[in-house]
């Protein structure tokens, strides 16, 4: 195994570092070589990228329970 060959486990970890811009030049080169021949790690990079880009869009539509609202208003009024 040459110095430039890295495992999928290592590649996946480097993908996480690359995504945050914390990867050195050597790792960047070995990772891109790995990604050019490994479709699974390529998928990992694309799919985690998709998750991260969409993680701020939230669709929860819960309502703060009325009794909690009343409790908060009471507490605020006690503050006066």
Q: Min. distance of Cβ 25 from another protein in angstroms?
A: 18
Binding mask 9-48 for another protein (x = CB under 8 A): xx-xx--xx--x-x-----------------xx-xx-xxx
Query: Nearer to another protein by C-beta: 2 or 58?
Result: 58
For helices 25-37 and 8-19, what crossing angle results, to 10°? 120
Burial of 18 (0-12, 13-18, 19+ CB in 10 A): middle
List residues near another protein by CB under 8 A.
7-10, 12-13, 16-17, 20, 22, 40-41, 43-44, 46-65, 68-69, 71-73, 75-77, 79-80
């Amino acid at each position: 195994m040459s110095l430039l060959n890295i495992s999928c486990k290592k590649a996946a970890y480097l993908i996480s570092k690359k995504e945050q811009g914390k990867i050195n030049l050597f790792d960047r080169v070995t990772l891109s070589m790995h990604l050019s021949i490994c479709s699974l790690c390529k998928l990992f990079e694309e799919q985690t990228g998709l998750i991260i880009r969409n993680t701020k869009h939230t669709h929860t539509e819960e309502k703060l329970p009325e009794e909690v609202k009343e409790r908060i208003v009471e507490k605020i009024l006690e503050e006066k």
